[in-house]
Amino acid sequence: MSQNYRLENIGLINRKKKISFKFNKKKYYGYEGDTIASALIANGVHLVGRSFKYHRPRGFFGAGVDEPYAIVQLYRNNETDPNVRATEQELFEGLEAKSVNCWPNVNFDIGAINNFLRMFFPAGFYYKTFMWPRSFWYKIYEPIIRKAAGFGKASIKHDKERYEHKYEYCDILVTGSGPSGLASAYAAAKNGAKVILAEEKPRFGGSLLTSDVNIGNQSGHEWADKIISELKTMPNVIVKNRSQVFGYYDHNMLVMSERVSDHLPKTEKYIPKQRLWYIRAKEVVISSGSIERPLVFGNNDTPGVMLSSAAKEYMKIYGVLVGKKPLIFTNNDSGYETAIEFKKNGIDSIILDSRKNPKSDIITEVQNLNIQIKYSHVVVAAKGYKKVSSADIAEISEDKKNLGKIENISCDCICVSGFWTPTIHLASQSGSKTSFKKEIDAFVPSNSKQNETTVGSANGIFSLNETINNAFENGHSLSKKITNKDNKVSIPTVVEKKTSSHDKFWCVPLPKGKNYKRFLDFQNDVAVSDIELALREGFRSIEHVKRYTTLGMATDQGKTSNLNGLQLVSEVENKVVPQVGHTTFRPPYTPVSIGAIVGREIGKHSKPTRKSPIHDWHEKNNAVFVDAGVWLRPRYYKQGNESLFEASKREAKNVRQNVGLCDVTTLGKIDVKGPDSAEFLNRVYTNAWLKLPIGKARYGVMLREDGIVMDDGTTTRISENHYHMTTTTAQAANVLSHLEYYLQIVWPELNVNVVSSTEQWAGAAIAGPKSRNLLEKLFPDKNVSNEGLPFMGYTEGNFFGCNARIFRISFSGELAYEINVESNNGYFMWEKIMEVGKEFNIQPYGTEALSTLRIEMGHVAGSELDGRTIPFDNSLEGLVSKKKDFIGKRSLEKSAYTAPNRQKLVGVVPLDKKTSIPEGSYLVKDANAKLPNPKLGHVSASCWSVEYDNPFSLAILKDGKNMIGKKLFALSPLRNKKIPVEIVSSHYVDPDGKRVRS
């Protein structure tokens, strides 16, 4: 299709590069530098979608982020993005886009029947209608509404694109590269400040690209180009296009999304699609500009009705005519600029000005160009369904209440200008108050809450001369505060046309007998009548009116609709706009993709993965890994076709019979040093620590202040003032913070230092009856006999040339040792132990066998120390000192904790000795009792006892100490199991602990 609406000698697009793309499966051509919108308009396409509620035809309304209509489903690189603004998305070769919210297609849309039923769809329709009958909601109403509602469809595939996060610090962040942004950034950068200049569009310059002004004896556009190229060469400046600063957060933290590759057919390897910048700025200059306001009249949502500034932008930037018979409807001078631009391109327009007798340079120029102007005239209604074909116009009385005789004039587009609304979103997000500026009928930022300054039209300053002067001054003074420098740049002279003031008129009254829809919010289909209805129904607060009617709640967040909504509410309520106030501006200013927010922290990068130095050996030997906190630990080592169950049984059995080797590097290790270490440990642990001799280890339990067990582990006295503490893998970080809290805040007088040494040591546990034989071979020079190295003993040795620490401690309940060497010797140690251990039938064992071994020994671990149990519950009351005070001791006196039937750790065996009891099962007296069946306890850990070859579980059971020998039921409603069980001692194997001492 030919580009019938493309102009020849105007625009910033690259005509040398033709680009083909598809819209609704049809092929079109555009140029490099086009947006989907400009290329479609060039091809005469104005129907791009259907509206949200009534499914009315939708065209283009703006030319940028404010676009309420033209949102499309984008297809790129085998992926799809929903709700992409066609006015922002740049063309690339092979781009495909489709209309949204229409079925079967945009030209014939079944949902459009809503438009004819619209008397049934007033504000709050859904709230009122689907209240009754109540049972219909989930099954009937909601699914239908969900299907009918919404715009684009999110992809359900995994997003393969790369998104990145970046942190940046600067002196001054400037948000927008229009005249005020350029001037501030330039002045600040020249004064030595570190500046970031962010522009949401691909091209820098903002309004200077389209306005007819002169700065420093060159056109505004040339001046902008010159400033930008100079800024780009400065080492203290970062200049970013396609970058939207969308959120202003606490302490001058702003977040910006940079569309790095969205304008390319596909993302290059290692280049992100989008990049999220977290910018901490000392000062922020908000130069976000302003957005033209619509005028409200009948059927003002018809495709072809658009902002006059957008029409001008399509001509000047893209060389595209939005129509060949334009009607311009304005209440200020901006519409005249668009008329002049049309005229320059050979198109005659008709201007309707609601003002009676305005006078200004621009108007004189338009008159001299012989462009037809009708003063005191308004558009009553647009005519045409899928595209404007004519307009009903009429003269309007001075009080704007009465319309004269209606006349129909032919046109193919209506360009509207209802004056300008400053973009105050960022300033308002920062917490600044806003004030209503009467001269411009809009809110501007007032008292700054954070270090931010709003300049230019974002601050309601519409004179370029004033803007440039003010922005240069601000850029200079703000940078001076930071850099203490005083390098001033000369301010260029500005030549601009003088304008006359705008008309406060914004909404055309309905002619007699006509019931046209006059839309305020174009994306959510909110019309004047909806707001009026809401007010009649008693909604008063603007926040309530917003939520009831959905005004300003669509993806465009009411960028074009908010102020007109406020004007209407204030008119109906007979208030002034500042009394009505505005709704809260919340980030993000424009939609941000979830991918950008998440960044690189997805999948396996969502948390760090920690691996022991022996990891590669495990991998080579068929280890199946399990997540243990952020660590990867071998769960079992698979031999042949073994299942988890078979492998763990084999490994556990080998520990009981021969000797096993387990990687215990992941255990938390904390070095405790200082003369008061013993006193500190004595306060941290429940048991006594003052008399632990050098070369001895002790098991300890630590509580929180509320008496709940926090962690357990062994601590070894390495030398006079040096202790080596171990924690569970999961609690290591919390325990360190806990110790630091008490040392720094509660008992700063204690001379103790703690530091994590988890990663400094690789640990290997050798467990089993033959472990001493093995140890003798590993340390031939040492006396490791039962006398030389008794249970809970500690010694240091030479492990084939490496320094080693040898602890005689046991988690498996067998005779066992733990050898620590410096981390980088871990792999060597492991291989060596495996090699030397061959003659004793050594086998590595994983966490599954480790669990089996500790469960049948009745040793508690994380599943019992679950943040809900006290020492008594875990049968650890023997470790609670009665003599000394320690953290959490006073809480143990609580009556619930000392109740005679307090819960306690027990063992559980199924009566049939066959059925495994699922972890988490409930213990009850009567399996068939009426629900809720009183719960006596729960199964915390289960294993297959290798000692007795039957299932065995640990449980925390009410009155556990008096329940041994009782018969109960273990219920697992999840797995639909009712298992008759007997309660036994938690020490199922070697209850006297002979093996560890042998």
Residues that bind another protein (CB under 8 A): 167, 249-253, 278, 280, 431, 683, 705-706, 737, 740-741, 744-746, 748, 885, 890-891, 893-894
Nearer to another protein, 252 or 389 (CB): 252
Closest distance to another protein from the beta carbon of 685 (Å): 14
Instruction: Tell the smallest beta-carbon distance from residue 889 to another protein (Å).
Output: 9
Give the amino acid at 456: G
- Which distant-in-sequence residues (6+ apart) come within 8 Å of 288 by Cβ? 175, 176, 423, 424, 425, 426, 458
Nearest Cα residue to 170 out of 99, 237, 250: 237
Q: Which is nearer to another protein, 94 or 674 (CB)?
A: 674
In whole angstroms, how close is the CB of 737 to another protein at the nearest point? 6
Residue 280 or 673: which CB sits closer to another protein?
A: 280
Place of tokens 């040795």: 797
3-state helix, strand, coil in the chain (%, to 5): 30, 30, 45
Choose between 169 and 948: whose C-beta lies nearer to another protein: 169
Q: Closer to another protein at the Cβ: 748 or 932?
A: 748
Burial class of 486 by CB neighbour count within 10 A (0 to 12, 13 to 18, 19+): exposed
Between 543 and 705, CB nearer to another protein = 705
- The smaller minimum CB distance to another protein, of residues 340 and 750, is found at 750
CA distances from 328 to 519, 837, 893 (A): 18, 92, 83
- Rounded to a whole number of angstroms, the minimum distance from the CB of residue 286 to another protein is 19
CB of 582 to another protein, least distance (A): 20
Query: Looking at beta carbons only, is 896 or 931 nearer to another protein?
Result: 896
Alpha-carbon gap, residue 93 to 96, rounded angstroms: 9
Which amino acid, one-letter code, is at 420?
A: W
Rounded Cα gap, residues 35 and 17, in angstroms = 14
Comparing CB distances to another protein, the nearer of 619 and 705 is: 705
Rounded to an integer, what distance in angstroms lies between the CA atom of residue 173 and that of residue 287? 10
C-beta closer to another protein: residue 570 or 891: 891
Question: Could you tell me if residue 653 is left (phi over 0), alpha (psi between -120 and 50 degrees) or otherwise beta?
Answer: alpha
CB of 520 to another protein, least distance (A): 34
Tell the smallest beta-carbon distance from residue 232 to another protein (Å).
Answer: 28
173: left (phi over 0), alpha (psi -120 to 50) or beta: beta
The residue among 83, 267, 263, 287 whose CA lies nearest residue 199 is 287
Contact 46, 39 (CB under 8 A): no
Q: How far apart are CA 144 and CA 949, in angstroms?
A: 57
Residue 649: count of CB within 10 angstroms of its CB: 21
| Residue burial 749-763, b: 16+ Cβ < 10 Å; e: rest | ebebebeebbeebbb
Q: Which is nearer to another protein, 61 or 163 (CB)?
A: 163
Give a three-class secondary structure readout of 120-138.
Answer: HCCCCHHHHHCCCCCCHHH
Contact 422, 290 (CB under 8 A): yes
For 288-333, the three-class secondary structure string (H helix, E strand, C coil) is CCEEECCCECECCCCCCEEEHHHHHHHHHHHCECCCCCEEEEECCC
931, containing H or E segment: none
Q: How far is CA 854 from the centre of its chain?
A: 42
Tokens read off for 379: 């558009």
Nearest partner of 725 among 782, 627, 809, 783, judged by Cα: 809
Question: Residue 253 Cβ, how far from another protein at the closest point, in Å?
Answer: 5
Output the six-digit token pair for 541: 């607060």
Please identify, using beta-carbon distances, which residue of 167 and 645 lies nearer to another protein: 167
Q: What is the DSSP letter of 35?
A: B
Helix/strand/coil (H/E/C) assignment for every residue in 435-470: EEEHHHCEEEECCCCCCEEECHHHHCCCCHHHHHHH
Query: Which CB atom, from 256 or from 908, has the smaller least distance to another protein?
Result: 256
Total residues belonging to the chain: 998
Cβ proximity to another protein, 92 vs 249, nearer residue:
249
Phi, psi (5° rounding) for residue 313?
-65, -40
Hey, is 74 helix, strand or coil?
strand
Compute the least distance from the CB of residue 285 to another protein, in Å. Answer: 19
Q: How far apart are CA 905 and CA 871, in angstroms?
A: 10
Q: Which of 777, 767, 846 is nearest to 808 (CA)?
A: 767
Complex with another protein: residue 537 or 759, whichever CB lies closer: 759
Please answer whether residues 239 and 170 qualify as being in contact, where contact means their C-beta atoms are separated by less than 8 angstroms.
Answer: no
Task: Return the number of the residue (418 or 707) whose C-beta is nearest another protein.
Answer: 707
Tokens of 650: 């084999």
d(CA 168, CA 281): 8
Residue 335 DSSP one-character state: H
To another protein, the closest distance from the beta carbon of 325 in angstroms equals 53
Least Å from the CB of residue 746 to another protein: 5
Task: Name the residue nearer to another protein (CB basis): 147 or 251.
Answer: 251
Q: How far is the CB of 971 from another protein (least distance, A)?
A: 33
Give the separation between CA 275 and CA 169, rounded to whole angstroms. Answer: 16
User: Cβ of residue 632: shortest distance to another protein, in angstroms?
Assistant: 22
Provide, rounded to whole angstroms, the least separation between the CB of residue 890 and another protein. Answer: 5
Residue 574 or 744 having the CB closest to another protein:
744
Cβ neighbour number for residue 721 with a 10 Å cutoff: 17
